[in-house]
Structure 1
Amino acid sequence: MEALNDRITRYLMKRLRRHAVMTVYERAAGAGLLDTQLAGHVVGQVTGDEQHGRVWRVGERARHELTGVPVLDRAIVERIMRKGRASLVTRAGHHGSERFRDVEAKDRFDFDLPTEPVPAARHKARGKNARDPDTAGGANPTPDIGFAYIAGLLRDELPPPNPVHVAVCLLVSRAVAASASTSAAWRAALAMPAPFVLLKAPVKRFEICLAMMLEDGLIVPFRTALEDVLYGNPLSGRYRQHTVPGERRLKTLSGRAVTPENEKLLRRKLRHALTNEPAPVLLIDETVPALTPVVTETADHVFECEGLDCAMIAELLHLCVGVAPKDSLRLMDDMAFDPEGLSLDDIALAVRPGRSARDTLSVLAMLAEQSALNEGNEDEQTVSRDNSHRKSGSTGGGEKAKAPPETGDLELIQPVPEAGGQDMKAATQTARSTDRILRVETLCGYGAAREWALDLKADLSLWRTGDLGWDQMSTRLLLSGPPGTGKTTFARALCNTLEVPLLVTSVAHWLEPGYLGDVLKRMSAVFTVAEKNAPAILFIDEIDNIGRRQTEGTRSYDDYWTSMINRLLELLDGTAKSQGVIVVGATNLADRIDPALLRSGRLETHVRIPLPDLETLTGIFAHHLGADLEAVLASAPAAAGKSRLRPPPARNGRPLRRKSPVAPDTDQGPRHD
């Protein structure tokens, strides 16, 4: 009896074969050799699509250009199909004697079945455009040019198997066969209305390649519309402009996205996927370590394999290039070939048409060695970064310190030490703004924010002596106002006033990695750095970019943004329980911030900074000009009595215009007053 692994492999290879045949048929239809239409099943014809009922017929171009002579018609079909696109396969042995036994394919989807010869009368036709004697003089097409005849001629246009697709099929079949001892076990898994299935194959790029094959209908006999459980974008990474009739919903999860950090979010999303909108859930995992028990112990079925090995590489070469498995295994033994570390990208680079088995294995060995070296270098760089971070963290100096790599190369800004006596007076009176120290005490136009900062300075002194608890202090502030009102300047001045480090970040900086898991890690890393440098100020610029949760589906990928807001709420609550972290947020649009972020214990103090009035502008100029203020005012030109900035008021509804003291040059054309 055939093994389960072989049965699944044979089925998946037939799926790939059928897809290749349909692709050739579509190309032939574009060239005019075939016609297609959407209709029900018709006896004696081929239905090309299960959902649409696509029917293929012989096209008019084939009826009028083909001769009925197989040798000649092969060249005609080759020329027509190659027009605008070169054929993907190497042809050999097409031109021989007229005794060549040609095709009348009985299986429309299998070009390799035994064929029958064309009647001898057809081999006696002369010329490329020869016609049957009964129809040569008229307009009727050759009667023997049927679909089976065209299908046989098209087999030379069939592309070679895609090695990546074949590798994915082998991994899937081995995983299912290794975990389901009998065919009844995996049939029971498929029969469930909405199963939760974990499919693990530790090979890089397995997740995205399998997702794309599911969308294209290469694994199951229908196309699927992928919906990611955690994120809005599908696992395949493709942008879907429209839905395809007949496709079925499949919810997916990426093993790389299942991390301990988002375990709470994962539980909530899985509950919604399995109960609120029931649909099959497929978790595709390409990682080596085991996933969290939240998914491994709750999945209905777990299918996993060990990844690529020599036996699978030998079977891959047999299916793609026709090399006997025993020959490939013998070459691997001679080369001491080790496939560990190979990715599906490496398979695509190595398994190429016309390349021998020895050359293919040599390329695979080189790629595996390079992958091992790259992984080793990455590990060394990680250790080096960790050691350098430990060393820099132990110095305690007043210079700028590099944050950990998870934060995206942020820098901690240390406060400028306050000078005393004559030095302080000189620093305050210097005329150069670059030499002046920003402090909240010397800023103008901040109103309640300035009072909040001065109160915090006094409370911070009491906290350092142990006379005041951190939970009794107001350490959260939201600054809002139009652009250019000095929100970032206030944060830098607060750093110098409180004499604590300043960590500047923004929501845009958090979003740089793109993937939700990496974004959440960066958010957590920033807060961790602030806690390690406590007491410190964490300044979050453009915090309104994180948005609100009550959007009712009006914003794309609402789940993505909701996850970010929930993580920020957790971080704010967690930091509130810790000691020494002052959080200041800045925004131009305070009404776009989720109300939960403005509640007590979070960004509870909200100060709106208006545009500066005349008194504030005077104070700003005085701060930046310093001792040069009087000299600048004295250098202002005297006001001219006759100078006007605008024309005089209108009289009787007609505006008065001043005449130019100099007559216009006539060569410059007429005036347009």
Structure 2
Amino acid sequence: MGTLEQRVRRYLLSRLCHRAVLDLYQEAVAAGLLGTHFDRAGRATALRSWFVSDKARDLLSGDPAHDRRIIGRMIGSGCRHCNDMVTDYRFSTDDTGSDCRNIYDWSTPEPADPQRKPKSGRRGTSRESGISFSYVGNLLREHLPAPAPMHVAVALLVARTVGTSLLRLSMLTNPLRSPTPFVLIKAPVNRFEASVGMMLEDGLLLPFPCKLEDVLREGPLSGRYRDSGSAGPQQRRLKTVAGSAALKRDDRIVRGRLRHAMTDEPAPVLVVDETRRALTPVLTETADLVVECTGFDGPMVADLLHICVGVPPQETMTLLESSAFDLKCLSIDDLVLAVRPGRSANEILSILAMLVERCSDEDIDGKAANGENGHRRSSGDRGRGRASEKQTSDPNPGDAGVELILPVAVSDAEDAGMSSGRKQASASRTPVLSVETLSGYGPAREWAIDLKADLGLWREGRLSWSDMSTKLLLSGPPGTGKTTFARALCNSLQVPMLTTSVANWLEPGYLGDVLKLMLASFEAAASRSPSILFIDEIDNIGTRQMAGHRNYDDYWSSLINRLLELLDGSAKTEGVVIVAATNLPEKIDPALLRSGRLESHVRLPLPDLETLTSILAHHLGDDLPEVLSSAPTGRPRSRLRPPPARDNDPQRLRKNAQRRKAEKGKRVSP
């Protein structure tokens, strides 16, 4: 029987081998060696069976050496796993080294008819020559591909989590028999979450493929966007939570989303965690089953190399004793890059040591910068005295798809102007762009001035962020100064501004990457609070009322839902002033304009004569008196009006029009 870890390991590896055999049979069908048919026989799903094709019976003679060459030419040449595959390793499924052939109960190949000598040619072999399915299947199985390191690594990690956390098999099976089990699995290995998600979708961990639905609406656990329509006949719904995403969320949000997942359309919930931190008790204390391990170790790496490339475990263990890298820093990406067919154990371990040395620190630092190792800052940390601490932990704005703009200090600009005035008296200086110096913005200017006063009270702890108006939508024709207003607000409030656009969010294309980029933009702004997040061209995200009028409606609905979630409530956006701009406000989903979101909407008209005069005066700065003194003298003319017509005599124009009309009537009369 073996230990519980060995039993789970044997089951998972057998699933990988089973899938490899099915894929190989499918290649044999394409090559004409096998045929297949489906038998429903009253079942919900059809049962597929395989048989030897007539083509194979004509080509194969019953001589294994001859038939092996024939099959090799038909499915081996040009096959993705032919040339580099290790053919002499044994895909062991238990510690005794038993071959996985026993899993499928392969029968002994039937020998050729002793009364009939096989012919050397391809034709003339009868169907009674011993060419059975078990005989062809054993020859086909020699072309099984080497198992993927990612699949084997996840299988070994899952088996280790179960073996180290549970004592009996019943402790695993009893919670899983529930209609909606809630399971948490933790392995501190980078890329463990996405790898588990991909294998669940492909049906490599469970007896069926899964349709994954993220509880926290972070995108699929696998990172792959697939059609979100109804599940297939063999698929089953599975709701997932990524531990790295749960660490970034408030406990109240996690609790609410889990309640929604378990009560509205209930389905099994699986939490997959790859972080080294302990998850919130909302997950660990409420789960039906919690299994975890400490990551890779020597026996696990030796087992993986033995399965994937046929290296004896003793050889790997001997080399690991002389190596100096930490196996717990290995990621699944490192194994995929290093464990390749044809490489020796020494080469693989040398590559792994290099990857661990160059990438492990960057991965840990990157996760810490993205907030996986820290909680949301409290209201007492909002002062400027913690600026040095934020500088060391803030993520790079470029990684979040935003541009960082720092405010221009008014005192610095004035000092610079004074020094330049001493050096060159005739030098002109343009005033610092601020809300106070803007013209033509009407309600938007008043909103900004009120916000500046409220921000001072908030910094002193005398005003709650929820009592402030901190979200604004600016709309108007192109050229009305929406971006200029955002830059002026940055200088007036003396806070950094991070600029992005919906086009930047949509650049990756895949839904999971787009949702992560949206979240990263808000997190980058929150890490520099108080700050301004300026979102340009927000109308590109569309509206849910357009359902049925464009492709991939579920894709666009997911984007709108994510933006609603990021904008909703003051707790998520505390310390972040959000300003959005658009030329087409009618294309924005109405839910984005409700209370708590972009509730303040200011429409900017084209500037009138007075506003244009003020704009020109602002840009001329100190040069304005000199420009006015050099203006031409004479009769004042009305500005900004077209010149009069050359012949502006109304009576003459009327007579000319009547004459042309009379001449036209004479030409058309008979």
TM-score range, shorter chain: 0.7 to 0.9
C-alpha distance in structure 2 between counterparts of 1:477 and 1:613, whole Å: 23
Q: Which residues in structure 2 correspond to 1:391-430 (within 5 Å)?
A: 404-405=394-395, 410-417=404-411
RMSD of Structure 2 on Structure 1 (CA): 5.0
- Quote the offset at 1:642 in angstroms: 7.1
Partner of residue 125, structure 1? 118
Question: How far apart, CA to CA, are the structure 2 residues paired with 1:507 and 1:270?
Answer: 31
State the one-letter code of the partner of 1:308.
F
CA distance in 1, matches of 2:44, 2:138: 22
Match of 1:157, SS state, is coil
2:36 aligned with 1:36: yes
Contact 2:240 / 2:270 at 8 angstroms: preserved in 1? yes
Q: Partners of 1:410 and 1:66 in 2: how far apart? A: 70
> Would you say 1:85 and 2:79 are equivalent positions?
yes
Tell me the equivalent position of 2:10. 10
The CA deviation at 1:79 is 0.9
Q: 1:163 aligns with which of 115, 129, 149?
A: 149
Q: What is the CA distance between 1:54 and its match in structure 2? A: 1.5
Q: Which of 230, 235, 240 is the matching residue for 2:226? A: 240
Q: Deviations over 1:190-247 (max 9, x none)?
A: 2111101001111111111121111111112211111111126321122324754311
1:570 maps to 2:564: no
Contact 1:255 1:283 (C-alpha < 8 Å) held by counterparts:
yes
Q: Partners of 1:403 and 1:90 in 2: how far apart?
A: 46
Distance apart, 1:539 and its partner CA? 6.3
Question: Which residue number corresponds to residue 49 of structure 2?
Answer: 55
1:209 aligns with 2:214: no
TM-score computed with the length of structure 1 as normaliser: 0.73
State the match for 2:93 in structure 1. Answer: none
Deviation larger for 621-630 or 325-334: 621-630
Partners of 1:88 and 1:160 within 8 A in 2? no
Relative distance call for 1:564 and 1:3 in structure 2 (3 A) is: same
Pair 1:288-2:281 in alignment? no
Task: Give per-residue Cα distances to partners, 1:321-368, cap 9 Å, x unaligned.
Answer: 344434433343344674221111222233322333344334334433
Per-residue CA deviations over 1:640-661 (Å, capped at 9, x if unaligned) read 8279xxxx989669999xxxxx
> Which of these residues, 291, 300, 311, is aligned with residue 303 of structure 1?
291
For the pair shown, which has the larger CA radius of gyration, 1 or 2? 1
Give the one of 603, 607, 611 matched to 1:608: 603
Deviations 1:32-65 (A, max 9, x none): 11122322379xxxxxx99431221222321332
Question: Which segment drifts farther, 62-71 or 437-446?
Answer: 437-446
Q: Given residue 569 of structure 2, which amino acid in structure 1 is its aligned partner?
A: E
Structure 1 residues 177 and 549, CA gap change in structure 2 (3 angstroms)? farther
**Which amino acid in structure 2 is aligned with residue 29 of structure 1?**
V
TM-score by length of 2: 0.73
With 150-159 and 19-28 compared, the bigger mean Cα shift is at 150-159
Residue aligning to 1:659: none
Kept in 2, the 8 Å contact 1:548–1:594? The answer is no
Matches within 5 A, 1:136-155: 144-155=130-141
> Equivalent residue for 2:480?
485
Question: Does the aligned pair in 2 maintain the 1:549–1:565 contact within 8 Å?
Answer: no
SS in structure 1 at match of 2:16: helix
- Of 25-34 and 81-90, deviating more is 81-90
In 1, Cα distance between the equivalents of 2:86 and 2:591?
A: 69
The answer to whether the 8 A contact 1:415-1:499 is kept is: no
Counterpart AA for 1:22: L
Residue of structure 1 equivalent to 2:60:
66
- Say whether 1:191 aligns with 2:169: no
CA positional deviation for 1:128: 2.5
Tell me by how many angstroms 1:377 deviates: 7.8
Contact 1:622 / 1:629 at 8 angstroms: preserved in 2? no
Q: Shift of the alpha carbon at 1:571?
A: 3.5
The CA deviation string for residues 66-87 of structure 1, in whole angstroms up to 9 with x for no partner, is 2333222211111111354352
- Residue equivalent to 2:302: 314
CA distance change for structure 1 residues 232 and 34 in 2, over 3 Å: closer, same or farther? farther
Distance 1:541 1:151, change over 3 A: closer
Q: How far is the alpha carbon of 1:166 from its aligned partner?
A: 1.5
Residue 162 of structure 1 deviates from its aligned partner by 2.0
Question: Partners in 1 of 2:48 and 2:206 — Cα distance?
Answer: 18
Partner deviation per Cα, 1:123-170 (whole Å, 9 max, x = no partner): x323232424xx5xxxxx565333222212212211122222122111
Counterpart contact for 2:60–2:122, Cα < 8 Å? yes
Q: Tell me which of 326, 335, 355 is aligned to 1:347.
A: 335
The equivalent residue for 2:216 is 230
Equivalent runs, 1:222-621 vs 2, <5 Å: 222-231=208-217, 233-241=219-227, 243-335=231-323, 338-372=326-360, 374=362, 404-405=394-395, 410-417=404-411, 435=430, 437-438=432-433, 443-450=438-445, 478-493=473-488, 500-501=494-495, 503=497, 505-506=499-500, 508=502, 511=505, 514=513, 519-520=518-519, 522-523=521-522, 525-527=524-526, 529-531=528-530, 538=532, 540-542=534-536, 544=538, 556=555, 558=557, 561-562=560-561, 564-571=563-570, 586-590=581-585, 592=588, 599=595, 606-613=601-608, 616-617=611-612, 620-621=615-616
1:414 Cα offset (Å)? 1.9
The answer (yes or no) to whether the contact 1:51–1:245 under 8 Å persists in 2 is: yes
Aligned partners of 1:346, 1:517: CA distance in 2, in Å?
Answer: 23
SS in 2 for 1:145: coil
1:250 is paired with a residue of what secondary structure?
Answer: strand
Alignment partners' CA distance in 2, 1:17 and 1:593: 49
Residue by residue, what CA displacement relative to the aligned partner does 1:280-327 show, whole Å, maximum 9, x if unpaired? 111111111111111011110001112111111222233333444344
